[in-house]
Amino acid sequence: MTQAPRPSAAPIKSAANIALGWLHTAKFLTTAPQLHFLPALDVPEIAFVGRSNAGKSTCINTLTQQKQLAFASKKPGRTQHINLFSLGKQGVMDAVLTDLPGYGYAAVPKQDKIRWQQVMANYLVTRENLKAIVLMCDPRHGLTELDEVLLEVIRPRVEEGLKFLVVLTKADKLTRSEAAKALSIMKLNAGGGEVRLFSATKRMGIEEVATLLWDWTHPAASADGANGANALPATAPKMSDAPVDEPPALDED
């Protein structure tokens, strides 16, 4: 087995290049209206969540260097679906990126909003291979009420070791001092999670976020130089038939 470069030990530039090359392999895997329709996977999964319009699709597309990838999640029929993208070099899946369509969109009927919030909460609380959650937040608006509820829902898992990152999007719209303030306020609210400024237009934070996601999903490669692509077994998806408990609803009222 050949040894891959060590991203964490390498200079930051090459670690970021490895992470970005890996993210560029993202491919649509599957979509499902509820957790129990998703395949059970034993590769680490990273979920992207956030209020609609927070900049999530743009962030996913920027990280993966694919113009349309996450916009597929906005197609009719997929706007309230869990959308999975596989990641891995040479066709060997070693992680999954999950796009959970944005919440809080005003035009969605209340019943649909509540249903979607339950699907999301169920996924975030019970998805076994979930390794990390990335919460997108437009710092001009800060955390919304729904973001706060989501933080409460995931808190027990974060305390148990689930990785958590808040991405402050559209940072190009902030002055330097506004950005510094937004960063320090969010660090206080992120419950020990990471916080990064990000701008797709100014290409800010891309390498940092990519490297974090790589490190979280390839701990063996990061720690001792094992081949990242082989650090975790890639297995054929199998359908889950496990019973799903009803999670708390993310209620916005």
Q: How far is the CB of 214 from ligand GDP (least distance, A)?
A: 21
- Identify the CA nearest to 134 among candidates 110, 150, 156: 150
Could you tell me the CA-to-CA distances from 22 to 14, 39, 161, 162 in Å, in that order? 12, 22, 24, 21
Q: What is the token pair recorded at 28? A: 């649509």
Q: How far is the CB of 53 from ligand GDP (least distance, A)?
A: 4
- Compare residues 25 and 73 and give the one whose CB is closer to ligand GDP: 73
- Compare residues 163 and 170 and give the one whose CB is closer to ligand GDP: 170
- Compare residues 25 and 199 and give the one whose CB is closer to ligand GDP: 199
- Compare residues 54 and 153 and give the one whose CB is closer to ligand GDP: 54
Q: Which residues bind ligand GDP (CB under 6 A)?
A: 50, 52-58, 102, 136, 169-170, 172-173, 199-201
Edge-first strand order for the sheet with 45-50 is 27-32, 82-87, 95-99, 45-50, 130-137, 163-168, 194-197
Q: In angstroms, rounded to a whole number, what is the distance separating the alpha carbons of residues 123 and 144?
A: 20
Q: In angstroms, rounded to a whole number, what is the distance separating the alpha carbons of residues 125 and 96?
A: 17
Q: How far is the CB of 119 from ligand GDP (least distance, A)?
A: 17
Q: How far is the CB of 121 from ligand GDP (least distance, A)?
A: 19
Q: How far is the CB of 74 from ligand GDP (least distance, A)?
A: 7
- Compare residues 172 and 207 and give the one whose CB is closer to ligand GDP: 172
Q: In angstroms, rounded to a whole number, what is the distance separating the alpha carbons of residues 83 and 141?
A: 26
